Structure 1
Amino acid sequence: MESLGELLSQMKSPGLRRRSEELTAKLMNDPLVLELRARYPELSDSQLTLNMAKLYQYVQTSRHCDSCPGLERCPNDFPGHYTKLTVESFHGAATINDRQVPCNLQAQRERELAIKKRIHSFYVDERALEEGYSEVEIMGKDRERAPAVSRIFQYINEVKASGLSPRGLYLEGHFGTGKTFLMCYLLHELAKAGYSGVIVYMPEFVEDLKSMFQDNQKLKETVEIMKQADLLIFDDIGAENLNPWVRDHVMGSILNFRMNRKPTFYTSNYSLKGLEKHLSFTSKDGEEIHKGQRLMDRIAPFVEVVQVRGVNKRGLK
C-alpha cells in the first residue's frame, strides 16, 4: 500500500488528485475515525483534515493489529507498536496528538526481556530459566515433593507481600528430584516482581575461579555481582572440588557480606551437617574443622532447610 505522503505529493496530476480525494473521503468515513469523532465532538472538519497523516497511520496500524501476523512479521512502521490518538484542548481549540504504544505481544516481550536482565546465570542451563512454568504441573509432577513445592510457593508469596528477608532456603534432597528446577522457578517468579537474582552451578564455578585467580578485575566483578544481587542461589553446593582460597576468600567474602542483609539459597545432596564436613576438607590442606565451621556460621543460621523428596527424574521423558 502506498503511503499517504506519497499520494499527496503527486496531487498535481488530476487522476492522482481524484484518487487522493477518494482516499480522504474513505478515511473520513472509516469506522475508527467516525468513532473518534463521536468520542470527541469538538473536533472540526478542518482539524481532521490537518491531521490526515495521523488519522491514516492510526487506521492503518489498527487494521494491521486486527490481523496480527506476529511480532516477527509486524507490518507497522514501528514494529510491535500501534498508533494511539488523544485529543486535548489548547487555547480553546481541539488538537490531535499521536503516540506509538506497544501492543500486548510487544509488552509481553519487553517484560520477558526485563526478567532476563534481572537474572544472571553462572553455568546453569538458561533454558531452565526461560521455560514457561505451570504451578499445577510443578505441584502435580511428583506428589512426594509436594511439601517442598508448597514451601517454595509460600516463600514467593511472602516476598511479594512483605519484601525480602535475610533468610533463604536450603533445598536438600537426592539427585534428580528437581531442586534446581524449583530454585529457577523461584528466581523467575521473583524476577517478575522486580528482584534481581544470580544462580551459580558450584562445580563449574569453582573450576572457573582458578582461571580468575590471575584476572583480579574479573574476579572482583564476579564477586560483586553475587554480593549485590537480591537473591543468590548456590546450586549443587557440596559437589565442587573445594580449595582453601575459594572457601575462605571467595565464598567467605560473599556470605560475610550477605548475612543479615540479603537471602542466599542452596541446593545440595548434603544435609547441613554433611555440608559442614565437606567444607572442612580441601584437597590441598586436608581437614580444617574450624574453617568449615566458620563458613557454616554464615550459612546455617540464615536458611530454612526444605527436604525435597521424590524420584530421580533425570533421563525420564
Structure 2
Amino acid sequence: MGKIIFAKFFKGEDAQKYEHMLREVLGDPEIQAFLAQHQDEINEDGIAKSVSRLYEYLQVKAKLKQGDERQTGGYTPNLRISNHMVEIYYAPTAYLRAKQAARKKDQRFKVFNMPKNTKQANLDDFAISGQHGQRLEAYTAVLEFASQVIENPQVFTKGIYLQGSFGIGKTFLMAGMANYLVEQGVQVTMVNYPSFVVDVKNALSDNTTSLYINKVKNAQVLVLDDIGADQSSSWVRDEVLGVILQYRMQEQLPTCFTSNLSMQQLQEEYLAVNNRGEKEPLKARRIMERVRFLAREITMEDQNWRNPETNVSYEEPDYPQGPLTGFEY
C-alpha cells in the first residue's frame, strides 16, 4: 500500500521524504491500531492525504514523552476521523485540568489583607476539642451554614457571627469554611475588616471608596473578619458598614462575621461610640438590626492557640495598609 500511495503524489526527493514519513507513520503500533479501528471510515486515498498530520502527531507525542510541553502548552494530541481523513485535536492533560480547576477555585476565593495561609485552611485541620467544649458547636454551626448555602443557593441562609477571645481559631475556622464553599463552586470574599476600613479611608483622596464598598457588598458569600478590632467613626459606621449590611440584608446574601466582641459589646462599645467619644445608641441599634438579621451569634472560647504563652495578655497586631493592595483578583 505504501508504494502505491507515495507514487501517486510524489516524485524524486519529495517522494523519498514522503516514503520516510509514510514508513514511520504506518510502522507505529498506535497508528496501526487507530487505522484498523477506523478502516470503514478512511480508505487508502484518505490515509495518503493524512500522512503529514499523522507524522505531526508522532512528533508531538515524542516531545511530550521527553517532557517537552512547550509546543502543546499542556495539551495532548488525539486522533479522529473527519470527512474520511485523519484529524488531530488537542485535549488538556490531567495536569492542566487540575491546574485550571485550582486556578478557578483560587479566583472564587477573594481575600482582602488576610494571612497568607488563608486559602490553604481546611476544616479537617480544625481541632474540635477544647477547654470549654464550644469548638465542636462552632464547627457544627459553620458546617451547617456551608451545607445550606451549597444545597439551597437561591434561599437566604442566615450566617454566623463567631465571637470569642484572641487566637482561638475563629479566622481559621471561617477560612476553612470558605475553602469548603469554593470547592463546591461558591464565590467567597473574606475581608480583614480593620484593614479594609483603613483602605477605604485612604481612598477618599482619589474618590474610589465606592470601588472598595461595591467589591465587598456584592460578594456571593461575605466574611467580615475581626469586626470591632479598630476604632469606629460615624462615617465608617453609617457610610461604609451600614451601606454594606443594608445591601446584603435587602438582597438576602449570606454574611458571616468574626469578632472578639459579643453582639451586645459590638453595639454598646464599638458602634455606639464615635471617634469623638460621643454616644449614638440609635444609630448603633440600626446597624445591629442588620447584623442580627444576617447572622446568628455563636460563642467559642478556648486557650490562645496562636500564642499560647500570651493567654493572659494580648498586643494588637499592625494591620497592613495600602490602596487596592489587599484585594486579590
Paired residues of 1:64 and 1:75 also in contact (CA < 8 A): yes
Letter in structure 2 aligned against 1:312 = N
Aligned residue in 2 for 1:45 = 44
Q: Map 1:267-286 onto structure 2 (within 5 A).
A: 267-277=258-268, 278-286=270-278
SS in structure 2 at match of 1:169: strand
TM-score by length of 1: 0.81
Paired residues of 2:160 and 2:256 also in contact (CA < 8 A): yes
Quick check: 1:305 aligned with 2:326? no
Number of residue equivalences: 293
Aligned residue in 1 for 2:125 = 137
Greater Cα offset, 156-165 or 272-281: 156-165
Paired residues of 1:180 and 1:235 also in contact (CA < 8 A): yes
Superimposed CA distance per residue, residues 217-264 of structure 1 (whole angstroms, 9 cap, x where no aligned partner): x21111111121101111000101111100011111111111042111
Quick check: 1:110 aligned with 2:100? yes
Change over 3 Å in CA distance of 1:284–1:193 after alignment to 2:
same
Question: Structure 1, unaligned stretches of length 5 or more?
Answer: 1-10
Change over 3 Å in CA distance of 1:151–1:18 after alignment to 2:
farther
Amino-acid identity (%): 25
Paired residues of 1:280 and 1:287 also in contact (CA < 8 A): yes
Paired residues of 1:238 and 1:268 also in contact (CA < 8 A): yes
2:194 to 183, 203, 216: 203
1:82 to 69, 76, 82: 76
Paired residues of 1:174 and 1:269 also in contact (CA < 8 A): yes
Partners of 1:20 and 1:132 lie apart in 2 by: 58
Aligned residue in 1 for 2:323 = none
Paired residues of 1:166 and 1:259 also in contact (CA < 8 A): no
Question: Structure 2, unaligned stretches of length 5 or more?
Answer: 1-9, 309-329
Paired residues of 1:86 and 1:97 also in contact (CA < 8 A): yes
Aligned residue in 1 for 2:280 = 288
Paired residues of 1:61 and 1:76 also in contact (CA < 8 A): no
Partners of 1:179 and 1:118 lie apart in 2 by: 21
Q: Map 1:1-317 onto structure 2 (within 5 A).
A: 18=16, 21-41=19-39, 42-65=41-64, 69=67, 74-88=68-82, 90=83, 94-129=84-119, 131=120, 133=122, 135-138=123-126, 144=133, 145-163=135-153, 165-216=156-207, 218-260=208-250, 261-277=252-268, 278-315=270-307
Paired residues of 1:169 and 1:305 also in contact (CA < 8 A): yes
